[in-house]
């Protein structure tokens, strides 16, 4: 039984590492999109243009 478990441990470790990396990438993308939307909103307000809302388009 132990040889099977020892064989699976590296694969499980790599799967966990992949999960953590992908989770952080998705979270970073979400934060980047929020920051970009805030930047666009502030640029539109400073130019005197009404900002487009993606919520109204849905």
> What is the per-residue pLDDT for 55?
57
The whole-angstrom separation of Cα 44 and Cα 6 is 58
Question: pLDDT digit of tens for each residue in the chain (58 aa)?
Answer: 989 999 999 999 999 999 999 999 999 999 999 999 999 999 999 988 765 665 555 4
> What is the per-residue pLDDT for 47?
86
> What is the per-residue pLDDT for 13?
97
Residues 58/22/24/43 CA torsion (nearest 10 deg) = -40
* 18 Cα distance to chain centroid: 14
User: 30 by DSSP, 3-state: which?
Assistant: helix
């Amino acid at each position: 039984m132990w040889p099977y478990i020892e064989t699976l441990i590296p694969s499980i470790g790599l799967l966990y590492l992949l999960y953590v990396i992908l989770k952080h990438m998705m979270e970073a993308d979400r934060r980047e999109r929020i920051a970009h939307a805030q930047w666009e909103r502030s640029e539109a307000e400073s130019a005197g243009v009404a900002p487009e809302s993606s919520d109204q388009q849905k």
